[in-house]
Chains A and B, each alone.
Chain A
Amino acid sequence: MEQREVRMGDFGSEGAVFWQAARAGRFILPKCIDCGQVHWYPRAVCPFCLSSEIGWQESRGLGHVYASTFFRRTDAPYVIAYVELDEGPRMLTTIVTGDVASISIGQRVQIHFAADDTVNGAYPVFRPIGAS
């Protein structure tokens, strides 16, 4: 099976606005100007009405865990989850926590940007609310 290295250049400009905001620590969600719906993941063409008029709305990045799993088969086990944002969309992400046993469905979480030197400089992860 082919394994390819993924480079930023492969992706063009479609997510550029999002990643630029992410690097500045801001979480923004794509919202179609024509149909008014918020979607995830961000696209240049609205997945509800195929409009190209996509705006962005600021988000506090609050939500709750819709599903989560603690993936152990690696040197540094981590929590993978779908987080349901208060704005509605469910996004695939990781939960950063020192206490994996405390992560369960329904747990309130808030966004946090993790540094990433391979793809986009910063990417969204979540932390349990109340945790340090």
Chain B
Amino acid sequence: MNGVPQIVGAFEHPTRLAPDKTVAQLHAEAARGALADAGLTKDDVDGYFCSGDAPGGALSMANYLNLRLRHCDTLDVGGSSAVAQVAQACAAIQMGKCNVALITQAGRPKSLGVTTGTKKIVKDSLAPDVIWELPYAVPNVANYALVAARHFYEFGTTSEQLAWVRVAASHHAQHNPNAVLRKLVTVDDVLQSPLISDPLHRLDCCLITDGGGAIVVARNEIAVSLRRPAIRLRGAGLALKHQEAGAIDLTYSAAAQSGREAFSQAGIDAADIRYASIYDSFTITVIIQLEDLGFCPKGKGGAFVADGNLIANVGRLAVNTDGGGLCNNHPANRGGITKVIEAVRQLRQEAVPAVQVKNCELACVQATGGHMATRHASATLILERT
């Protein structure tokens, strides 16, 4: 492992509502936090990784942050971007393209009043699919509701089972002082919240928050000198899935492919994992990804998440011990960076004690980006403390 880069810095911006900040400022504050966590300075950064949420892209952000760069990467696969970029950063370092890679993600959709879940927003009107879908005004929640509806039909999954994902998130969020929603909820609370897009209820949906986060990855020789817990990437996968010219199958996600690659590269399987960060844009998103990663057979995700099985120190698999996007934070409408950050906390034994997984040496980080019922990407990481 000596030559393998390490994740040396991770920082989640504490804000969830930032009416008086700019998006660039949130990126910068997140960067400052992660560099301080690593024991590095801005001037150590020679590789910068950002995505569609970075205002003005890499050029404007490098200018704003006054970074002197010899490498950058602007991969945009929606909410999975920051997860994929951890692997890109490790690869770039191993190729000698940079020594210290900074990944930032931030946004302020809460302050902007962006109703991304329930209104159709066209981000790129030149996308070739826009004209074929715009008349139907499919909002995010309806997109994922289609996935849920098919899952219910094929596998007998129920709203009660979906609700357990939210219940577990609330169990974790109650211990997180920065979480937006810290109140414990029950299965009944979820079922009695209003239906937004059948079969998804309001509490099946994630938050919209301002904020952000950052990750710093460093060449091993630099990392060793920082004396941080050694967190390394052991396996990674990235995959895309779409409508396949009319042959779309809603029962699985691109995580089936990215997960297979990540676990194969790591030489382990889902049975070896006891903590997982799983992007929870909606409760159904978690169930589909857990199945695709092999935590349970396809179609059994509903049963797998039920009865508190995702609650730390209660169930088989602790998931999103920060409270996730459902209860804690979902900055920029992209769940990726917070998923990496909580996995790093778990591996460093720095999670809140009530949710810390004992002897957590392996973690799975999983995010989908885009929209599962139309076009999405999936990024999977297997991280290890060595």
With A and B bound together, what is the CA distance between A86 and B101 in angstroms?
A: 51
A71 touches B197 (CB 8 A): yes
A21 at interface (Cβ–Cβ under 8 A)? no
Q: What B residues does A41 contact at CB under 8 A?
A: 128-129, 132, 243
B197 touches A68 (CB 8 A): no
Interface residues on B, range: 35 or more
A119 at interface (Cβ–Cβ under 8 A)? yes
B131 touches A11 (CB 8 A): yes
Q: Give the contacting residue for B198; candidates A6, A7, A69, A92; CB below 8 A.
A: A69
A129: shortest Cβ distance to chain B, in Å? 19
A90 touches B146 (CB 8 A): no
Q: Name the residue of chain A whose CB is nearest to the CB of B205.
A: A73
B11: shortest Cβ distance to chain A, in Å? 23
With A and B bound together, what is the CA distance between A82 and B133 in angstroms?
A: 11
Q: How many residues of A contact B (CB 8 A)?
A: 45
CB-CB contacts below 8 Å: A38-92 with B: 38-43, 47-48, 66-74, 80-82, 88-92
B266 at interface (Cβ–Cβ under 8 A)? no
A132 at interface (Cβ–Cβ under 8 A)? no
A125: shortest Cβ distance to chain B, in Å? 8
B246 touches A89 (CB 8 A): yes
A69 touches B131 (CB 8 A): no
Instruction: Classify the interface of chain A: helix, strand, loop or mixed.
Output: loop
A93 at interface (Cβ–Cβ under 8 A)? yes
Q: Give the contacting residue for A92; candidates B107, B136, B139, B147; CB below 8 A.
A: B136
A72 touches B116 (CB 8 A): no
B2 at interface (Cβ–Cβ under 8 A)? no
With A and B bound together, what is the CA distance between A41 and B139 in angstroms?
A: 19
A99 at interface (Cβ–Cβ under 8 A)? no
Q: Give the contacting residue for A88; candidates B133, B148, B200, B246; CB below 8 A.
A: B246
Q: Name the residue of chain B whose CB is nearest to the CB of A94.
A: B136
B247 at interface (Cβ–Cβ under 8 A)? yes
Contact A70-B130, Cβ < 8 Å, known A4-B122, A80-B142 = no
Contact code string B228-250 (vs A, CB < 8 Å = 1, else 0) = 00000000000000010111101
B150 touches A105 (CB 8 A): yes
B118 touches A74 (CB 8 A): yes
Interface on A for B, CB 8 Å cutoff? Answer: 1-7, 10-11, 14-15, 37-43, 47-48, 66-74, 80-82, 88-94, 105, 114, 116, 119-120, 123
The 9 closest A-B pairs by CB, nearest first: A89-B246, A69-B145, A41-B132, A40-B246, A47-B245, A123-B135, A39-B245, A67-B150, A73-B118
9 examples of A-B residue contacts, CB within 8 angstroms? A41-B132, A70-B197, A71-B142, A73-B141, A93-B136, A94-B135, A105-B149, A105-B150, A119-B134
